[in-house]
Each structure stands twice: as C-alpha cells, then as structure tokens.
Amino acid sequence: MVEARHLPMERGLGKTDRIDDWWKSPLAMAIYLGIAVMYATWRGFMEADFWIFEEFGRSAGNQTMAIESNGSHVLSPLFSPLVVPGQDGLGSWVPESLWWMSPAMFILIIPAGFRGTCYYYRKAYYRSFMVSPAACAVSTPFGDYKGESRLFLFQNLHRYFMYLAVAYLFVLSYDVLLATQFHAAGSATSYGVSVGTLVLMMNVIMLGGYTLGCHSFRHAIGGIRNRFRNGGGAVAEACWKSCTKLNKNHGNWAIYSLFWVMFSDFYIYACTEGWWTDIVLLGGL
C-alpha cells in the first residue's frame, strides 16, 4: 500500500513559498466567471413575470429576447429554444403554475450544467471560488483533497450534459438559419444577412469549438476504442484527431465561447432596447 507523503509546507489560507504573482490568475477568473454568472442570472430573470422585474421585458410588453424590428428573427442564445410559458409550441407544455418563469430558465440548465461540470471549469472554480487550492503549491485551509466524492459526484453527469450540449448546437444552428429569413406582412420570405446573423453564426462556431473539444466528447467519438482498426476505425480516428486538436486549447475555447454567448445576448438586448441597430448587410426585405 502506498503511503501518502505531505510536502513540507505551511498550512493556512494562501500560505505558500511561491514568490510569483500566483494569485492573479484565480482572481481574474473569479471576476470573469462572477460577471458572467451575474449577467446570465439578471438576463434570465428579466423576461420573467416576476414581481421584481415587472417593469422590464415581457411584463412591460417589450420583449428583449429576439430582434424582430427589421423583419428578421435574431434570437438570443440565452433564450433558445424559445419556451414562452402558456403560448404556442414548447410553451404550451408548461403548466400554468410555472407561467411566471422566464423562457431562459427552462433551457439555461443545459449550458449551465455542461459548463458547471466541465473539467476545465472545475479547475477554474475550485481554485477561484473554493480556494481548494487556489494554485499549485499554495495551501488550502480545508484539509486534503478527497476527490470528487459525496456531493461532488454530480460532476459525473458531465457526459450526459455533453450529449445535450451537442444537440444544442443543432438548435443554435437552426437559429442562424432563421436569422437569414426576413418576413413582411403579405409578402414572401426573403433572405439576407444582418450583423445579428453573423453574431449568431460566430456563436455556433465558438460553441462548436468548445463542445467538440470536450474530454467526454473526445472519448465518445474515438477514445472509447482500444485500437482504430476495422469497423469504421479510420473515420473514428479522424474524428478523434480533430477533437484532440480542439481539446488542446479547451481552456481558451471555454473562456472565449462564454464571452461570445454573453456578447451575443447583449447585442440582441441592446438592439431591442434601441441602443444599437441591427444593420442588414446583404439582402433582407
């Protein structure tokens, strides 16, 4: 049996022999993730028929989920697929007792669950928010690492969230297609591209880079095999190699795709509020 050896280091929050600025990275990550979570929560609640937000969004008759002003339909990724409680489509499945909820609340569980259980984000928030530990060779006040056991067993759900996240890429791609279609009362559909269309397209590319470089996806696509010979092995190997390329920069994809989701939503919010205009670059009505 292997005996655990403890490094001769001082115990206590933030105690370390390191002389570099090790605290900068976890601090920056805490600020970045904190802003992203607060923004998504604020936007998620904005369209709720909820006492605190009654003067905003749907309650005030000015929806901020999609740009509809120039005949196109540019839907925010935070509200896709659109579930408007009590209305047609997916919203008709929502029981009346939940009609106060915002459309975002029904679907944010998928991206939040996927990112929350991602191996990269685990490292980020274990360091930034739980200081467990805050960095390599920096002491933690909470005793030794016990592995992802007990409450942290939920992290094993990551592979299931991964399948949902892959399906979600198709939903978001469909939104890009819808954003190329322009409608006017009494006339046929015409096609075009606005800045909003490009923003949504970029969002799919960024999320694709993040999702398809996921460790679980890489395993499912080819890593599950012991060897790549026979039975579609060449295809599996090519897919696995492509995933590996994305996987090498998974941390960057995680950070930049999160930024772009938030920016896409903010762009749509700003256009629906009249601060910005969604300029049609090509075609349109």
Among 23, 99, 119, 174, binds ligand FES (CB under 6 A): 119
Q: Which two tokens stand for residue 179?
A: 């954003």
Among 128, 216, 257, 264, binds ligand FES (CB under 6 A): 216
We find the least distance from the C-beta atom of residue 119 to ligand FES, in angstroms, to be 4
Q: Does residue 43 touch ligand FES according to CB under 6 A?
A: no
Among 48, 118, 179, 243, binds ligand FES (CB under 6 A): 118
Stretch in the footprint of ligand FES (CB under 6 A) among 1-9, 15-23, 201-209, 211-219: 211-219
Among 99, 135, 190, 215, binds ligand FES (CB under 6 A): 215
Stretch in the footprint of ligand FES (CB under 6 A) among 32-40, 43-51, 63-71, 210-218: 210-218
Among 40, 104, 200, 214, binds ligand FES (CB under 6 A): 214
- Contacts with ligand FES by CB under 6 A: the residue count is 9
